[in-house]
Structure formats: structure tokens, C-alpha cells
Amino acid sequence: MGVTDQTFQEISPADFFYRNKEIAGFSNPARAIFSAIRELVENSLDATEPLGILPDIYIRLSSLNEGEDENIYVLRVRDNGSGIPVDYVPLAFCQFLFSSKYKLKQSRGTFGLGGTMTILYGQITTNKPVKVISSTGGQKIYEYVLMIDIERNRPVILERRIYNNDSKWHGTIVEVNLEGDYFKAMPKILEYLKQTAIVNPYANIMFIDPKGRLYKFERTVSVLPPPPKETLPHPHGVDVETIYRIIRVTKCGTLLSFMQEHFHRVGKRIAQRFLEFAGFPEDADPKKLKPEEIVRFVQAMKSFNGFLPPDADSLSPLGEEILRAGILKELEPEFVAVTQRKPSAYSGHPFIVEVGIAYGGKISSGEDIILYRFANKIPLVYDESGDVSWRIIKSINWRKYGLMPGMPFAVLVHICSTKVPWKTVGKEIIADRPEVSREILNGIREVARQLSIYLARKEKIKRERARLSIFAKYLPKIAELSTKLTGKEKVPNINDLLRRAKKFEED
Amino acid sequence: MGVTDQTFQEISPADFFYRNKEIAGFSNPARAIFSAIRELVENSLDATEPLGILPDIYIRLSSLNEGEDENIYVLRVRDNGSGIPVDYVPLAFCQFLFSSKYKLKQSRGTFGLGGTMTILYGQITTNKPVKVISSTGGQKIYEYVLMIDIERNRPVILERRIYNNDSKWHGTIVEVNLEGDYFKAMPKILEYLKQTAIVNPYANIMFIDPKGRLYKFERTVSVLPPPPKETLPHPHGVDVETIYRIIRVTKCGTLLSFMQEHFHRVGKRIAQRFLEFAGFPEDADPKKLKPEEIVRFVQAMKSFNGFLPPDADSLSPLGEEILRAGILKELEPEFVAVTQRKPSAYSGHPFIVEVGIAYGGKISSGEDIILYRFANKIPLVYDESGDVSWRIIKSINWRKYGLMPGMPFAVLVHICSTKVPWKTVGKEIIADRPEVSREILNGIREVARQLSIYLARKEKIKRERARLSIFAKYLPKIAELSTKLTGKEKVPNINDLLRRAKKFEED
């Protein structure tokens, strides 16, 4: 019965993502070349900005066989980031689920597999190894030529070279061969780079495309947002597994110290009040908790109201100034309003929503409202209709703000969090969490009101101008006529009258 | 410089999905209980139907603490499937990326992680082990009590019991404790079960909810769709990695036999023509191909037009009869039309689209068109707006078919494939592949035309009835009047006249 058909098989994480590359954004040649650029650029940004380095990122995509119809490209991305310690290079690039990003702080990467996914895709389409050159700024620069053993999820080192680093250069260069369809992907790639420049105006980004065209996004601000700090787990977001992991490593002998040592914003008094609420003695040994006690402990953590909300130290929002600068630089609008919402949290994960609205300038008016979506300073350019921000945009009664689709305005939503609620591994769609959507909605309302005031004022000025121009046109004629009719010789001075008719200053 | 902030870490596949459980559909207590039921039901369906067993599935969800506000449930799912060989039980349930589903044929599961994900979620929310009872129909029934070592991705066997199996029972029972929010998830769960019954009308499904309410979906057809057969990879979908894997195990000494032995629908003549096209000698040894030759080989496989399209042996569509039966059973419409499109392929993956349209009966008329989406006989009840079928539904000019949103009709789209183009690991959204969307569009057009004809006919009959009822009302009076006016005694027989006025049979 049945057993015949059931052959079981164990596959490696590399094999899993090889078989399911679509879910990581590598579904076809066009999408793959987009994702490859995106993943490497985001790795470069993560290797610079959070470490206090103003990013210089240089992207070159060249065609291997100009003129032929095969679509094989070489993608080279160079950054001035921190570089990768020599021994970690093969693992960081050619082993799935090996990463520096599995931490409780905001970063662009969260799954720790975008770079490796890009290399895997290059390998299975071109059979060529990846070249990685990196230095952390020490005496040497290391160059590796690597492949992935997909069935075993291990890096294969083909070559390794060492150069002197006299200039103390630090950074990373990745050069990968891959199949792609650049011309189909081009609009999305350029849009992605433009929007990256909007939320990273402190970065220099250069892109040379296969036709040799240069796209330059230049730094306009030289201050970086405050870097995120690694944080402790918030009690509201903790599950049984987390508690076990902490218990395994803790040196605390009492629950009182355990609470203070391992959880976010728990001081002595809060720890005491929590333990009383949960019904555990302060001096109980955490290592001696029984399985059912641990469940009770976690349940109490979820339901206790006395914990402080997560603070925003682990986050690195843009701030209103940088956001405004980015919008002004790329969209050159006639009006812009931005707002940063207060830090908030969902299931123990802190987040901040930043919202902007821009009107006029380079913004074209289309059928639908233009929405720019960002998460942890990444622009999201695919799958808009599934995203929480799109749903909110659609739910707003824009007429209330004197706005409607078709007018040249754009809304920008940026969510940053230690845990962005991604729906997909390809990081394109953000799920609908009530706490997050409330902040987005309120943020949009706030900037929409400001635009509404601006437009009302602009409309008034326009009407006023029209009124004044009528005055200015007819008043002299009326004055002349009245002069004639009354037989007076001198036409009265009407400038004073005109001035008094001006109700608004136009500055 | 920088290195301070870069601590690298390797995590296990279990740990990856533990950290990212949202992407697999376990984002909150309501969604989690939905996903838990769904994953276990789909495992049960995959353990029965493809093996020729008419599914009997019994689902019981009970609350552990009636009356209290904690949401801990026990979910028990029992099937009469093939059962799992005793030695595989711990791995199949408690190790990620260990599965019987990594094969080239249609099945509901593809990622091979839904069941394990459910158990993991139960464990991290309740700290309780899972109980699995299974038998393949032999002498014994095995009962395991298991947990997952998440950091190491290994099963932990807590207990193992053996019972005699005198009745030769085969099947599997899974009992898992988990946190959830059943009452919030209830509408989606019931919708899911109803739709599962639509596309699996050969299944008996019973569900007892925490309030003790029984939902019964009874078998209405006793024929199963033809089971899918495992297939060879189609040359158009092959990449370099696949070729390497085949070369490693092949016993073929020449490319000519290699092509015929390992690829889908490649006979001798096609193999010869392909090798000529690709420029490889027929007697070349596949094991001696150089890396760049393998790339050329794969490129040629993609561009060669002489391969046969994939056949549908690896697929198990419902067929028009079963589909119609399912729709009639659950929606009881006054009209139904179904169509099965011819097998087609995208990137070497065969697929079949089945479409249905139903009008009236239990279908309510809402603001939007009602769309039922299915893939490999799974209903998709979340995230409709991101799905390819929704986009197509929205793009159709329904007035052309005398239809508009608000009328009581529903469209049903079923895609089956060895590789459904999922956008998410949670299997809710299907990506937009041109080959697939063309078939969906044409399928919908076909059934919409049939409904359009039905409605036009119905409208005509209605008008005709109205016309006849006027005749029937006034003709006797006119006859009577004329009789009087002409002074005749006998009113003429008008039945014949009335009969001739009937233009349509009403049967």
C-alpha cells in the first residue's frame, strides 16, 4: 500500500533555493538581472552606511557577446564598504544561511541569502564562477574565485590570490556572470536606482549599462542617518524557543537578573512587577524552569502590560531632513511635505514609518496615484497591488484633501523595522499589520493635509491674481471714463485703490 | 574599520523558517491556525488521492482551556492515506527540507515544509511535542512523540510506541498543540474547506470546531482523477546544474543515448536532430564535456525548436466532469459551464488550466466578481489582489458577455502544474507567466461566452413569456368581443393561435 510512491529525500538549503529560485526574485531572465543588481547594491549599502561610511557604489553591466542574441552579462559591483574578513569570504558568498545579518537590528538584508542567490543564478545559467575581491583596509587585498556546491551547500574555492594593499583600500568587488534580459528589465532597474537615490541621498551611485550609457546618482547630503544598534528581544515578541536559547547561555542565577540582562528595556522594578504578575519567585533559577512553566512564563510576557515599548535605537530611519533632500533632488517638486511618525511596535518589533508627499515638478500625472514604497531604505518596485501601502492609498478619500488621481502628486512611504513584515523572500510586498497600517494611514493624512493647505492657498492666489488682473485692466478705463464724464482734467491715481484690492501677499 | 560589526553566523534551515515563519503563512495566531489546518489537510490529500485512495479526512480542533482567554488548541487530523514508513516518521515531520515531494510531478506540497512548519509553530507557542500515529497497512501501528531541535534541524524522539494492527489500518494521525485565534480565522477556514470540497468532490472531509460544531463535506463522486506520473525534465527547462547532476549519475556513454534516457519526450530522431543543431557528435561522452561545452549544450536546448511539448502525464487535472460535480454540489447554481484547456508549458514545466463559471443558486451578488482560485487542487483564499487570475478577471470587458459585477456569478480558475509559479512560500499568490495567463484568459472567455448565451436565451424566454401572457390575457377578450360584434354565437377556439405565437420552446 502506497509506500512504493514515497521516496523520501533530504535536500540542502542551497538546493531548496535552487529549486525555488522564483520565490527569491529570480523567476525569469528579466527579473533575475533586476534582482541580481538589487541584491548586490543592497549588500554594498549595508556594508557602508551602518558603519559610518558614505557609500560609493559603482555598478557595471556588460554584455559578453555584443550583437549575438544570447543574453549573457557580466555584472560587477564595487563598493567602499567595510570589506569581508578573508576567512569568511567563501562562506559569506557561497553558502546559504551563512550571514552577518541574523541580528536584531535594522538592515536591508534580513534573509541573508540575496548575494548567494545571485551567485547561484549566475552559476546555473553560465557555469562560470564568481570573483570576489575584498579588503577590510589591512595590509592585503584578497581575491577569490568561487563556485557553490549546490547539493552540499558548500563553497568551492577555485582560486585565491593575495595583493598588497598599499593604499589601505577597503571595500568589496563582486563580479558575476549571468543570463539576463537587460532591455526588458531596464525600466525597473533605472526606477530602482532612482528611488534608491531618493532614500539614500548620502550615496554616490554610478551605473554603466551594456550600451555604455552612464547613469549617475550623486550624493547631495554628507550626513548619514544614525546607525542602528543591535538590541535585545522585547518581551512581547518572545516565544518558547527564544527563552530556551537564552536559558542555555545565560549566566544569571535568578529570574530577577535574567529578566534585566536579556530583554529589551527591562529594569529592576519592571522585572519585579512582571515576576509578581506572572507568579514566579524572583530568586527562581531560570535553568530549572519546567517545560510548562516556560509556557506560562511566555504567556505572561505577552499579556503583561507593564513593559516599556521598544525604543528606536535598533532602527535607522532617514529623518525628515534627508527624506526631504532625497525627494527634492530626484523629483524636483514645487511642494514637498514629509513626516516621521513616532516609534511604535508590533509583536515586540520596533518600527518607524516615514511618509512624504510631493507635488508638481518632475512628477507626471497618470491615471493612478503614484506611490513610492520603501522598507529599510530599499525601494520596492514590483507587485505594488499586494502591498499594505497601496491598499491604504486606495482607501483614502482624496477629494477631502482637494486631490484626485490624475493630479501630479506622489506619495512616499518608508517603513523601517528590525523585522519588516515581508510577505515574500523576494522582499517586494509588505504584509498588513494593523499597528503598521495605522501609522501609514496617519502619516499619509498628515502630509496630505499639508499639501491640501498648499493647494488651497495656491488656488486662492490664482483667483486673486485673476481678480486683480481684472481690476488692473478695467480700473484705468473706468477712471478715464469717469474723468471724461465729470469733465475733470486729471485722471485720479488708482494705484492706491489697486493695492488695497490685494487681499493676499504673493511673496 | 568595520569588522567589529560583522559577526557571521550559520543557521539551520529550521532556524531560518523559525525566524521567518511569516513567509510560510504563520504570521499571527489567526493566520497560523488557518495555515496549520491547511497544511495538514493538504498532506492528507497528497497521501490519499495520488495513490488511488478515496480520501477520508477527519479534522478536530479543540480548545485546551474552555472559557479562559488563552488561545491554545489541539489540532488533530486523521487520514486513511498510505501512511509513512516507520523509520521516516521523525524526519518527515520534524526535519526541514526532508520530504517525499521533491519530484517532477504534480502535488499539493512542493516546498516540503508545511507539516514541519506547523509542528514548529506548535512547539514554539505551546512547548508541547507533536504526536504522530501512522501505519502503512502492515502488522504494526507506530506512535511517535516528537519535537524539533530547531538550532540543529533534527527530530527529537521523546516516545515511541508500537501497537498491533489487526484491522490492517493504513493512514496517518497528527496531533499538534498550538496557539491560535480560531474565531478570527473561522470564516477563512470554512471557506477553505468549502472550496476544497469543490475541487476534491471525491473526498469525505469532516471538521469539528472548538464549539463542537460539525461541518461535513461529503463525497459526491467516487472516481479519482488519473494519478500524476513522475516525469523526466523537459529540455527547455534545464539548466547547467541539472545537466551536471544527470552526468554524475548517468550510465550513458554517448550523447545520443544520454538525450533519450534522461529527458522528457526525446526519441532517437529528435536526439539526432538536436545534436546536429547543437553541434555535438552523437558519440561524444557526456562525462567528458567541458564546462563551456555544457553551457553551449544548455543554450542549445533552450533555443532548439524541435522538441515535443511536455505531455500531461505528470499532471492530474480534475477533468470537466469532476469540476462540474464539485461546483454543482457546493454552489448549486442554475447554470454552470466548465472547460479544460489543452496542456501547455512554460520554461519546460507542463501545466493545464481548468476554468468554470457558475450563475445563480447559492452564489451571492456582491460588489466585485467572485473568483475562486485553485492550484494543484488547493484553494487559495488569501491575497487575491496579487494573483494573476484576479488581474485577468479585472482586465475582461464583462459587458461584452452581458455580465457585470453585481450579478450573481462566480468564476473558478484551476491551474495544475509540476511547478506552479508561486510567488510566496505560503502558496497564496500565483505569479504572472505569459503562457499561463493566456490560457486563463482564453478559458474564461470560453465559459463566459457560454454563460452569455444562456443568459441571452433566458432573457428571450422571459420576454417571450411576457408577450405570451399578454396574448393569453387579451386574446380571449378580443375573441369574445369579436364574437359579440359579429353576432356569432360560438367564441372561436384561440388555443391554436396562442400555440402559434410561441416562438420558443421553454422546456
pLDDT tens, A303-356?
899 999 888 888 999 999 999 999 998 899 999 999 999 998 888 889 999 999
Average pLDDT in the B94-108 region?
87
Per-residue burial over B17-52, b = 16 or more CB atoms within 10 Å of its CB, e = otherwise: bbbbbbbbbbbbbbbbbbbbbbbbbbbbbbbbbbbe
**pLDDT tens digits, B244-258:** 999 999 999 999 999
| Helix, strand, coil percent values for chain A (each to nearest 5) | 40, 20, 35
Residue type, A169: W
Task: Report the percentage of chain B scoring pLDDT > 70.
Answer: 96
- Would you say B386 and A386 are in contact if contact means Cβ atoms under 8 Å apart? yes
pLDDT of residue B345: 86
Answer whether A377 touches B (CB < 8 Å): no
- Would you say B358 and B409 are in contact if contact means Cβ atoms under 8 Å apart? yes
Contact B82 A299 (CB under 8 A): no
Answer whether B240 touches A (CB < 8 Å): yes
Residue bearing cell 475582461:
B396
Q: Does the domain spanning A25-217 belong to CATH 3.30.565.10?
A: yes
pLDDT band at A3 (very low <50, low <70, confident <90, very high): very low
pLDDT of residue B426: 86
- Would you say B108 and B42 are in contact if contact means Cβ atoms under 8 Å apart? yes
**In chain B, how long is the greatest CA-to-CA distance?**
120
pLDDT at residue B4 greater than cutoff 60: no
Phi, psi of B337 (to 5 degrees): -135, 140
Supply the mean pLDDT for chain B. 90
Nearest chain A residue to B387 by CA distance is: A386
pLDDT band at A5 (very low <50, low <70, confident <90, very high): low
- The region that residue B347 occupies, defined by phi over 0 for left and psi between -120 and 50 for alpha, beta otherwise, is left
What's the full length of chain B, in residues?
A: 507
pLDDT of residue B3: 39
Q: Of A59-73, A79-93, B358-372, where does the model show the most confidence?
A: A79-93
Average pLDDT in the A178-190 region?
94
Strands (E) in A51-139, as ranges, are: 56-63, 72-79, 98-99, 130-136
- Read out DSSP for A394-426? HHS-GGGGT--BTBSEEEEEEEEESS--BSSTT
User: Of B258 and B465, which is predicted with more confidence?
Assistant: B258
pLDDT at residue A1 greater than cutoff 60: no
pLDDT at residue A300 greater than cutoff 60: yes
Query: CATH 1.10.8.50 occupies which residues in chain A?
Result: 235-303
CA distance A233 to A267: 14
pLDDT band at B502 (very low <50, low <70, confident <90, very high): low
Residue A26 host element (H or E): none
Residue bearing cell 512554460:
B346
What's the full length of chain A, in residues?
A: 507
Residue type, A359: Y
CA B132 to chain centre: 25
pLDDT band at B205 (very low <50, low <70, confident <90, very high): very high
Residues of chain A with Cβ-Cβ distance to B87 below 8 Å are none
Residues of chain A with Cβ-Cβ distance to B240 below 8 Å are 123-127
Average pLDDT in the A250-257 region?
96
pLDDT band at A506 (very low <50, low <70, confident <90, very high): very low
**CA–CA min distance A390, chain B (Å):** 11
Residues of chain A with Cβ-Cβ distance to B12 below 8 Å are 97
- CA angle, residues B489, B491, B494, in degrees to nearest 5: 165
- The number of beta carbons lying within 10 Å of the beta carbon of residue B69 is 6
C-alpha cell at B219: 463525497
Smallest Cβ distance to A82: which of B2, B47, B97? B2
Nearest chain A residue to B137 by CA distance is: A1
Task: Report the percentage of chain A scoring pLDDT > 90.
Answer: 68
User: Of B149 and B489, which is predicted with more confidence?
Assistant: B149
Q: Does the domain spanning A235-303 belong to CATH 1.10.8.50?
A: yes
Architecture in CATH of B320-454: 2-Layer Sandwich (3.30)
Query: CATH 3.30.565.10 occupies which residues in chain B?
Result: 13-217
Query: CATH 3.30.565.10 occupies which residues in chain A?
Result: 25-217
Residue bearing cell 488656488:
A459
C-alpha cell at B100: 517525499
Phi, psi of B370 (to 5 degrees): -85, 125
pLDDT of residue B245: 92
Smallest Cβ distance to B23: which of A22, A98, A423? A423
- Read out DSSP for B341-401? PPPEEETTEEEEEEEEEEESTTPPP-SS-EEEEEETTEEE-S-GGGSHHHHHHHHS-GGGG
pLDDT at residue B38 greater than cutoff 70: yes
Answer whether B148 touches A (CB < 8 Å): no
Residue bearing cell 502591498:
A387
pLDDT at residue B503 greater than cutoff 90: no
- Would you say B203 and B49 are in contact if contact means Cβ atoms under 8 Å apart? yes
Residues of chain B with Cβ-Cβ distance to A85 below 8 Å are 3, 6
pLDDT at residue A433 greater than cutoff 70: yes
Average pLDDT in the B65-92 region?
88
pLDDT band at B6 (very low <50, low <70, confident <90, very high): low
pLDDT at residue B357 greater than cutoff 90: yes
Residue B416 Cα distances to B188, B317, B395, angstroms? 22, 6, 22
Residue B284 host element (H or E): none
**pLDDT tens digits, B43-65:** 999 999 999 999 999 999 999 77
CATH superfamily of B13-217: Histidine kinase-like ATPase, C-terminal domain (3.30.565.10)
Residue type, A182: Y
pLDDT band at A426 (very low <50, low <70, confident <90, very high): confident
pLDDT band at A4 (very low <50, low <70, confident <90, very high): very low
C-alpha cell at A338: 514629509
**CA–CA min distance A239, chain B (Å):** 6
Answer whether A190 touches B (CB < 8 Å): no
Contact A383 B386 (CB under 8 A): yes
Answer whether A159 touches B (CB < 8 Å): no
Instruction: Give ipTM to 2 decimals.
Output: 0.87
pLDDT at residue A297 greater than cutoff 80: yes
pLDDT band at A101 (very low <50, low <70, confident <90, very high): confident
Interface test with A, best of B72, B303, B423 (most A CBs within 10 A): B423
Query: CATH 3.30.230.10 occupies which residues in chain A?
Result: 320-454
- CA angle, residues A472, A473, A474, in degrees to nearest 5: 100
Contact A136 B3 (CB under 8 A): yes
pLDDT of residue B488: 78
- Nearest-Å Rg of the Cα atoms of chain B is 29
pLDDT at residue B271 greater than cutoff 90: yes
pLDDT at residue B163 greater than cutoff 90: yes
pLDDT of residue A102: 80
Residue B62 Cα distances to A42, A381, B118, B172, B180, angstroms? 46, 43, 16, 19, 11
pLDDT of residue A69: 54
Contact B111 A10 (CB under 8 A): no
CA distance A313 to B282: 65
pLDDT band at A67 (very low <50, low <70, confident <90, very high): low
Average pLDDT in the A53-72 region?
84
Residues of chain A with Cβ-Cβ distance to B11 below 8 Å are 97-99, 102, 112
Average pLDDT in the B112-127 region?
94
Average pLDDT in the B221-232 region?
90
